[in-house]
Chain A
């Protein structure tokens, strides 16, 4: 009997404790992200750092799988009214979430509503407008931002007696020497991102009508001119001559032969820096993404890949304030520098970049600066990014046609015809989903 009484009073005490602690508890906010492995650990570090830095808000990061899975999970949750406060959405999904009017609160608004000073000029060039709307208002807070750069095996280039190429013309010259030295001269890991989207940016070429799709989804169509077709003709020629290696659509399948020392140069993400330095046993360095000197006005900067954090709508003000305070913490120079150093993603603000320079990070690892330097190269009319819906499928179409091209099932001319036809059909369909 006495035992039962004790249990009952314990339960009652616990219940009381629960209610009292809840009423004083910090505001909880959730953050769904797609950062697995080492990146996920750094995300948890950032969240813990934020939680320790103040007591009003408590952020909980939740890993949701790949970029696509995270976006789909966010959409399903939103439709059920269970959306997280912050959703990480990748570059190709930006049009979907920004196009859905009312799904998100612009990052700029959420900061300004909470009384945080916001100046878009604080963000580095290549990052600034990628997740912005037509008027230049920042919708998504850039988070993990990277850009394609050229990594090279220092030993391999020395053995062949060549320098890393600045232009594709130079590459065509040195590639046979690398082949002679026993290497596959070049591989890359993402044909749509590196050889299409950033090819356009690097050569300051239009990618789509309607201001690369930023102005409106209605009647946006893809634009492919001679330069990109010539580029793919050259790439296919290099492949046939054994000067270029293509190992499929998978990212890792193309990076592995570089890590193993079979491929001399590899085009990948500036965010791959940390991973490579932990894997390879040869000295490596990096340089800018090459461009065709023959194309007029080439040599402009690239834009970012990666993902941004979106503040989902339909949340109470108190939680939105916490999101703003988290964004403020996240973009502080110290946190950005830590993120940059740990992962290789670029720091998104000028202040963070300055801090990294001052701290001597680039004296210790010069290659770590290539990504951000490339993003801050002089821009042009077509270097701020693109905004296209159903872009995941458009990338799939590109990968399919490029894959066919590489295995000799189609020609450059036909491949681009199909990409344009299928891509434009998808863009037309997307514009109808948002009621245009």
Chain B
């Protein structure tokens, strides 16, 4: 049913055009045969569940499958008119924006600095990368331990500055813990890509730039940053998808299976209503709304943003 949501597009890393060579297949069926596994996966794991979700979004169904009532768009109107849905949607927007920009920004800063390190650079890099190996629920668990209202060291730390954090009670504090944990978890991925992107910039370009301009800051913004744009665009998409979908584990662990007055994302709400509350119709309607949102987001990304990215 809702599994379709968990499938998202992983854009291929852009390959410079001149590398590709025109190849002709002997038989006209071979390309289709080669595509078949991919198409089968998309159909079974995305198209079919998506169609099921669309269908059940128009019904209110007894979870055991004994009865159902066709309700038209009622599931959608119920959802969109509830005070809570708006709040969850707003939080999702803010959360996604913060997680994406903070994890990209901090990772870029770290990558630029690490790129300049000459001695012991592999130690630094390893230290910055290891978090990548931590699974999201484990990251959430570490976050919960650090931010625990009774024993969390970070809570004690912030208390020294007069901030009495109460995760699970205060909406802002809980959001803060979620964003920090999600950003912390994502920085290494971005760091790895940015670092390899930086190392791909040829020395001659950099040397030419340093002859022309003394300001390191200006050199970065006018030369390095545009050259990193393809990597940046790729990471932007990856990070938005991450903040939208992959933070599920972190949120689940932080709210401890009890949403209460805690911030949750749209994806987590689909799970809450569908798998915790057995409201299949309502949950499917939310999935359909999410699918539409992801669809629009993808179009925006590729139509508007990618045009501004120049591949060398």
Taking Cβ atoms with an 8 Å cutoff, the residues of A that contact B are 66, 68-69, 71-72, 75, 78-79, 93, 96-97, 99-103, 246-253, 256-257, 260, 390, 392-393, 396-397, 399-404, 406-407, 409, 418, 422, 425-426, 429, 432-435
A195 → B minimal CB distance (Å) = 14
Residues of B within 8 A of A429 (CB): 60, 78, 279, 281-282
B168 touches A249 (CB 8 A): yes
A403 touches B261 (CB 8 A): yes
The contact of A433 among B68, B273, B275, by CB within 8 Å, is B68
The contact of B169 among A252, A256, A397, A406, by CB within 8 Å, is A406
Distance, CA A256 to CA B149, complexed state (A): 10
A101 touches B60 (CB 8 A): no
Chain A to chain B contacts (Cβ below 8 Å), 26 pairs = A68-B276, A75-B63, A96-B63, A97-B64, A100-B66, A101-B66, A101-B67, A102-B64, A247-B149, A247-B169, A248-B260, A249-B259, A250-B256, A253-B149, A253-B168, A257-B150, A396-B258, A396-B272, A396-B277, A399-B261, A409-B261, A418-B83, A426-B279, A432-B69, A433-B63, A435-B62
Taking Cβ atoms with an 8 Å cutoff, the residues of B that contact A are 60-69, 71, 78, 82-84, 149-150, 166-171, 256-262, 272-273, 275-279, 281-282
Residues of B within 8 A of A432 (CB): 60, 69, 71
Are A71 and B278 CB-contacts (below 8 A) given A248-B167, A399-B258, A433-B60? yes
The contact of B82 among A66, A101, A392, A425, by CB within 8 Å, is A425
A399 touches B259 (CB 8 A): yes
Q: Counting chain A CB atoms within 10 Å of each CB, which of B69, B83, B261, B275 scores highest?
A: B261
B259 touches A396 (CB 8 A): yes
Distance, CA A435 to CA B71, complexed state (A): 11
Distance, CA A97 to CA B279, complexed state (A): 13
Q: How many residue pairs bridge A and B at CB < 8 Å?
A: 135
Residue of A nearest to B167 (CB): A248
A226 → B minimal CB distance (Å) = 24
B171 touches A253 (CB 8 A): no
Residue of A nearest to B87 (CB): A400
Residues of B within 8 A of A418 (CB): 83
The contact of A79 among B65, B69, B262, by CB within 8 Å, is B65
B60 touches A407 (CB 8 A): no
B248 → A minimal CB distance (Å) = 15
Distance, CA A100 to CA B68, complexed state (A): 11
Are A68 and B67 CB-contacts (below 8 A) given A246-B169, A429-B78, A433-B60? no
